[in-house]
A = this chain, B = another copy of it.
Amino acid sequence: MTSEGVEPGTVRPGGRTARVREAVLRAAGDALAEHGFDRLDLADVARRAEVGKTTVYRRWSSPTGLIADLLDDMAEQSSPRTATGSLAEDLRANARLVLKTLTDPRQGALFRSVIAAATCDERTARALHRFYAIRIKEWSGCVTEAVERGELPAGTDPDEVIRAVSAPLYYRLLVSGDPLDASAADRAADAAAAAARAGTYVS
């Protein structure tokens, strides 16, 4: 959040601080996608963003500070959930969105880098967890509405269902290396819906 008060979903105001932040975070994302986090360098980011090195060092102070701010910005900028009126369709839309992000050349590489960075840095891990908590909360309304419609048992934990949709896709990306395609996405959504209907996520 800058001093200009950027709000989620709004067009960014044109103040200099906001413009600098946008350019620097864009450059940081590019660098992370290209090189991975272990070679993220503030001077390189400043050069890419065409911003003074001193500004970048003063404001973000370290690569991990920069990654944390990038994640906060991604959470603010990310798109709203769907509301199709059907749990199965909403979860498939969620899975397709996750798939699209993870298989996008820039976004996929960026997420891999940030997740790798979080394995060895506490501050990055906290920013990553905050990012996913916001994204999961955004989509959990699909589950709450399905409970209200009687599609799912009362007491179903909405966040757990949304996490269950993402988990198989991240597992393929980071762990098993199995293909990330539309059929994997649909299956992840359908499995979460089936387990939810069976009452597995009632807490």
Q: Are B160 and A187 in contact (CB under 8 A)?
A: yes
Please, which residues of chain B bring their CB within 8 A of the CB of A177? Answer: 125-126, 128-129, 132
A3 located at the interface, meaning its Cβ lies under 8 Å from any Cβ of chain B in the complex: no
* Bound Cα distance from A38 to B119, whole angstroms: 11
> Could you pull out 7 A-B pairs where Cβ atoms are within 8 angstroms?
A115-B116, A125-B177, A128-B175, A129-B176, A166-B171, A167-B168, A170-B171
Given A115-B175, A163-B168; 8 other pairs, CB 8 A cutoff: A38-B120, A136-B176, A163-B172, A163-B178, A170-B170, A187-B200, A194-B198, A195-B195
Interface residue ranges, A against B (CB under 8 Å): 36, 38, 112-113, 115-116, 118-120, 125-126, 128-129, 132-133, 136, 160, 163-164, 166-168, 170-172, 174-178, 187, 190-192, 194-195, 197-198, 200-201
